[in-house]
Amino acid sequence: MVQQDPSFRLFGRIWRATFISRPNRFLIYCNLNGRTVPAFLPNPGRLQELLISGRRVYLIREDGFRRRKTHFTAVAVLRNGVPIMLHTHRTNAMVKYLLQRDRIPGLEGARIIRSEVLMGRNRFDFLLRKGKKEILLEVKSCTLVGQRVAMFPDAITERGTRHLRTLAAFSEHGKKGAVLFIVHWPFAEFFMPDYHTDLNFSKAFLDVRHKIKIIPLSIRWQEDLSLLPETRRLQIPWGYIEKEARDQGSYLLILELRRGRKISIGKLGDPFFKKGFYVYVGSAMAHLTKRIERHRHLRKRHHWHIDQLRAQTDFISALVIRSSTRLECEIAERLSKICEWTIPGFGSSDCACPTHLFAMSENPIHSENFQNLLQYFRMDRFGQ
């Protein structure tokens, strides 16, 4: 009789709840059988594209944490019917399981010598032995996914960049550094560093490509949070990354106007701006980072329409879409379909667009439509 591999589980009993809000990085509120309950969130990432109100979240109970106000811990969120694991502290238990069963392409036959390996001031996840070779392995959990593309990181990670450089230095004298990106999305085909969010990490990723093993691996959690044994190594489109991962492209500036008022905007006169959130789309085909810094600061000579609006509003966020081609008008076109109102003629004197300023009453960061737009331009546009 052929013995079936028992399915792998990280957790015992799970509770299914509905996401409501995330008041701070490590806490969420959700609806559990009609009751609002707080849950600890063991994931420091931004997760803005995943934690959208109404999504199903999976909770477990963890007792014995004296300082915690809640016994619940959020471990996963459902995206298009597939759970995405959020409990980053448990990723290594799963990687150990995959390593022992030779389910990680490129690391077949490797055995674990030690976990939690200290190397200088950095801690790495595993020291492995494969034949006579030592492999230092760092594991990263990747939850930022589009349809076919996965990206890492979802927030700037200096630690992650340092890890790549240290692994490259380890790859000398017969040793090897390796990084494993666990992609919690079974439909992914491609993996890229998230150059929109962290250009330094992406540059390090390109620099170390010939020195270390880079293994992006997609896995699939089933609806009951058991792991399917199939894994898939994703492709890395190196040429595309080299072309796109530069300090150029477009940006979305999100500003909040707390009280409606007239604001004088150059040749547009004094249009009335309703209270709400304003999204401005612009581009800089060089020095994009500097441009965004300029928008963030208030003390400057007013040069563009956006400078006059910026002076009257609170800065909420600047979202970057890096690309080698100018996309701002295409982005404006898509924004016009999901916004509630616009200020005609704003920021569009050099192009044929009706406007480059769009508005909504709620912060678009928490809107599914807005996150989909961002996902399209940052990820799904690849290969189209």
- Of residues 209-268, which lie at the interface with Zn ion (CB under 5 A)? none
Nearest distance, CB of residue 320 and Zn ion, angstroms:
18
* Cβ-based nearer residue to Zn ion, 208 or 320: 320
Distance CA 262, CA 279 (A): 18
Nearest distance, CB of residue 336 and Zn ion, angstroms:
10
Partner residues linked to 204 by β-bridges: none
Mark the segment that binds Zn ion (CB under 5 A) among 25-33, 283-291, 304-312, 344-352.
344-352
Distance CA 329, CA 281 (A): 8
Nearest distance, CB of residue 355 and Zn ion, angstroms:
8
- Of residues 303-322, which lie at the interface with Zn ion (CB under 5 A)? none
Task: Provide the CA 331 distance to its chain's centre, in angstroms.
Answer: 20
Task: Provide the CA 317 distance to its chain's centre, in angstroms.
Answer: 15
* Cβ-based nearer residue to Zn ion, 144 or 353: 353
Nearest distance, CB of residue 352 and Zn ion, angstroms:
7
Mark the segment that binds Zn ion (CB under 5 A) among 49-57, 144-152, 178-186, 325-333.
325-333
Partner residues linked to 9 by β-bridges: 226
The correct pick among 93, 228, 311, 351 for binding Zn ion (CB under 5 A) is 351
Chain position carrying tokens 């390796």: 178
Mark the segment that binds Zn ion (CB under 5 A) among 25-33, 290-298, 315-323, 328-336.
328-336
Tokens describing residue 125: 């996840």
Mark the segment that binds Zn ion (CB under 5 A) among 187-195, 256-264, 318-326, 352-360.
352-360
* Cβ-based nearer residue to Zn ion, 324 or 336: 336
Nearest distance, CB of residue 376 and Zn ion, angstroms:
17
Partner residues linked to 321 by β-bridges: 250
* Cβ-based nearer residue to Zn ion, 353 or 357: 353
Nearest distance, CB of residue 317 and Zn ion, angstroms:
21
Give the residue among 316, 353, 315, 352 at the shortest CA–CA distance from 334.
Answer: 353
Tokens describing residue 181: 């990106």
Q: Applying CB under 5 A, what is the total number of residues that bind Zn ion?
A: 4
The correct pick among 75, 353, 359, 374 for binding Zn ion (CB under 5 A) is 353
Q: HSE (CB half, 13 Å, CA atoms) of 325?
A: 9
Residue 335 in contact with Zn ion, rule: CB under 5 A:
no
* Cβ-based nearer residue to Zn ion, 198 or 328: 328
Nearest distance, CB of residue 335 and Zn ion, angstroms:
11
- Cα separation values, 355 from 243, 328, 338, 361, Å: 29, 11, 14, 18
- Of residues 169-198, which lie at the interface with Zn ion (CB under 5 A)? none
Whose CB is nearest to Zn ion?
353
Spell out the residues 6+ positions from residue 368 whose beta carbon is closer than 8 angstroms to its own.
Answer: 52
* Cβ-based nearer residue to Zn ion, 154 or 328: 328
Partner residues linked to 147 by β-bridges: none
* Cβ-based nearer residue to Zn ion, 45 or 345: 345
Residue 329 in contact with Zn ion, rule: CB under 5 A:
yes
* Cβ-based nearer residue to Zn ion, 78 or 343: 343
* Cβ-based nearer residue to Zn ion, 86 or 281: 281
Chain position carrying tokens 């589009």: 146
* Cβ-based nearer residue to Zn ion, 39 or 335: 335
First to last CA, the chain: 48
Asked if the bond preceding 153 is cis, omega within 30° of 0, the reply is: yes
Distance CA 286, CA 233 (A): 34
Looking at this protein, which amino acid is placed at residue 204? A
Residue 326 in contact with Zn ion, rule: CB under 5 A:
no
Give the residue among 84, 318, 316, 279 at the shortest CA–CA distance from 196.
Answer: 318
Distance CA 241, CA 124 (A): 26
- Residues lying near Zn ion in the complex (CB under 5 A) are found at 329, 348, 351, 353
